[in-house]
Amino acid sequence: MRTLYLKSKIHRAKVTESDLDYEGSLGLDFDLMKAAGMREYERVEVYNVTNGERLATYLIKEKAGSGKIGVYGAAAHKIKQGDIIIITSYGYLEEAEVEFHRPKIILLDENNKIKQVKD
């Protein structure tokens, strides 16, 4: 049986831009995306620490090293510039993989720079 598990998490990202009239959904600094093992167009779940909202969307690349976290389109109704969010991705594991699986956790500072990587 395959079961869905946490694959990676970016913890306490600060939203730098929110735009209702933009095509796309969640823009993420490409360096952060790579560090977490996430890919462009991957489905992610986003948890808004600031207001408790939750949503599922997909990733688009922002410039590497920019620290940019952009929330675009309909998602901008739930997440605003300055909000603190958690971005998660999940993957299916076979029973034999579960014991050895460890998600990659990226902890950010107040400027969206990596302060710690747990894996």
Contact between residue 85 and residue 79 where contact means Cβ atoms under 8 Å apart: yes
Domain of 71 in residue numbering reads as 2-110
Q: Is residue 80 part of a domain?
A: yes
Contact between residue 54 and residue 48 where contact means Cβ atoms under 8 Å apart: yes
| Chain segment 9-66, per-residue pLDDT in tens | 999 999 999 999 987 799 999 999 999 999 999 999 999 999 999 999 999 999 999 9
Q: Is residue 21 part of a domain?
A: yes
**What CATH number did the domain enclosing 57 receive?**
2.40.40.20
Residue-level pLDDT at 23: 79
Q: What is the mean pLDDT of residues 89-97?
A: 97
Please list the residues that pair with 87 across neighbouring strands.
Answer: 10, 46
How many domains does the structure of the chain reveal?
Answer: 1
Q: Is residue 91 part of a domain?
A: yes
Angle among Cα 13, 18, 21 to the nearest 5 degrees reads 150
Catalytic residue among 22, 58, 66, 90: 58
Q: Is residue 116 part of a domain?
A: no
Cα–Cα distance for residue pair 15/69, rounded to 1 Å: 5
- The mean pLDDT value of the chain amounts to 96
Question: Whole-model pTM?
Answer: 0.96
Catalytic residue among 25, 41, 72, 89: 25
Residue-level pLDDT at 24: 74
Residue-level pLDDT at 22: 87
Q: Is residue 74 part of a domain?
A: yes
Residue-level pLDDT at 108: 98
89 is catalytic: no
8 is catalytic: no
Cα–Cα distance for residue pair 81/39, rounded to 1 Å: 23
